[in-house]
Chains A and B, each alone.
Chain A
Amino acid sequence: MSGTPRNEPSFQAQGQQSGGMSSAEGSPFTTSIGSSIPSIFRYELDEKPPCVTAETNIFIRALQIPIPNDESLEPEDQEPWPLYRNIASPDNYMECPSDEHLPRYFIKKYGTDTGTMGFPNIYGVMYAQSWTNPVLRHACLAVASFWAGRRAGHTFTHRSEAHINFLLPELQRVIRSRSFDDGHLCAVYMLMSFALDTNRLGVMQKHGEGLVLMLRHLGYLQPTSNGRHVLSDRAPPLVIHIWRLALRDDNMCGFGGPGLYKLCLPAMEMTGQPYERCMSSFMDQNRLHLRDIKRELFRKDLLTHRILHFQNDVLSLRATGAYRRMADTFEQHFTRQGKVVMDEITLQRQKISLQYSRTTSSTTRPVKQFLHHLPFYTTMWDSYCLFIYNSQTYIHATLIIDPKLGRSEKYPERTTAAIDLCRAVAAREKHLSPQAASLCFAGLAFIGTNPRGLSFI
Chain B
Amino acid sequence: MVSNIVELAWVEHLLDKLVRQGRPSPGLYLDVLLYLKEHPQVPWQVAWLQVMSSGATPGV
**Using a CB–CB distance below 8 Å, which chain A residues touch chain B?**
199-203, 255-257, 259-260, 311, 315, 370-371, 399, 403, 405-407, 415, 418-419, 422, 425, 429, 432-433, 436-437, 439-440, 442-444, 446-448, 450, 452, 454-457
| Number of A-B pairs, beta carbon distance below 8 Å | 115
Residues 2-56 of B contacting A (Cβ, < 8 Å)? 2-8, 10-12, 14-15, 18, 21, 23, 25-26, 29-30, 32-33, 36-37, 40, 43-46, 48-49, 52-53, 55-56
Among the listed B2, B23, B44, which residue makes an inter-chain contact with A450, where contact means beta carbons less than 8 Å apart? B2
A42 to chain B, nearest CB (A): 40
A22 to B30, CA, bound (A): 50
**Count the B residues whose beta carbon is within 8 Å of the partner chain — how many?**
38
> A202-B60, A442-B7, A446-B7 known; 5 other A-B pairs, CB under 8 Å?
A371-B7, A403-B43, A405-B44, A447-B36, A455-B2
Among the listed B7, B14, B44, B55, which residue makes an inter-chain contact with A403, where contact means beta carbons less than 8 Å apart? B44
Do B4 and A406 have beta carbons less than 8 Å apart?
yes
A276 to chain B, nearest CB (A): 31
**Using a CB–CB distance below 8 Å, which chain B residues touch chain A?**
1-8, 10-12, 14-15, 18, 21, 23, 25-26, 29-30, 32-33, 36-37, 40, 43-46, 48-49, 52-53, 55-57, 59-60
Do A425 and B14 have beta carbons less than 8 Å apart?
yes
**Residues in A whose Cβ lies below 8 Å from that of B18:** 432-433, 436
Q: Please list the 9 inter-chain residue pairs (A to B) with the smallest Cβ-Cβ separation, ordered nearest first.
A: A440-B29, A436-B26, A446-B8, A256-B49, A256-B48, A443-B33, A443-B11, A257-B45, A260-B49
**Residues in A whose Cβ lies below 8 Å from that of B15:** 436, 439-440, 443
Among the listed B40, B56, B57, which residue makes an inter-chain contact with A405, where contact means beta carbons less than 8 Å apart? B40
**Residues in B whose Cβ lies below 8 Å from that of A406:** 4
Residue of A399, A439, A454, A456 contacting most chain B CB atoms (<10 Å): A439
**Residues in B whose Cβ lies below 8 Å from that of A407:** 4
**Residues in A whose Cβ lies below 8 Å from that of B52:** 255-256, 260
Ordered by A's residue number, 23 sampled pairs between the chains whose C-beta atoms are within 8 Å are A199-B56, A256-B48, A256-B49, A256-B53, A257-B45, A260-B48, A260-B56, A370-B10, A371-B7, A403-B44, A415-B4, A418-B7, A422-B11, A433-B18, A433-B23, A439-B29, A443-B12, A443-B29, A444-B36, A447-B8, A450-B3, A455-B2, A457-B5
Do B8 and A257 have beta carbons less than 8 Å apart?
no
**Cβ-closest chain B residue relative to A438:** B29
**Cβ-closest chain A residue relative to B1:** A457
Do B8 and A443 have beta carbons less than 8 Å apart?
yes
**Residues in A whose Cβ lies below 8 Å from that of B43:** 403
A405 to B32, CA, bound (A): 12
**Cβ-closest chain A residue relative to B3:** A450
Do A439 and B14 have beta carbons less than 8 Å apart?
yes
Contacts known (A422-B11, A443-B8); A199 close to B48, Cβ less than 8 A: no
Do B44 and A432 have beta carbons less than 8 Å apart?
no
A443 to B12, CA, bound (A): 8
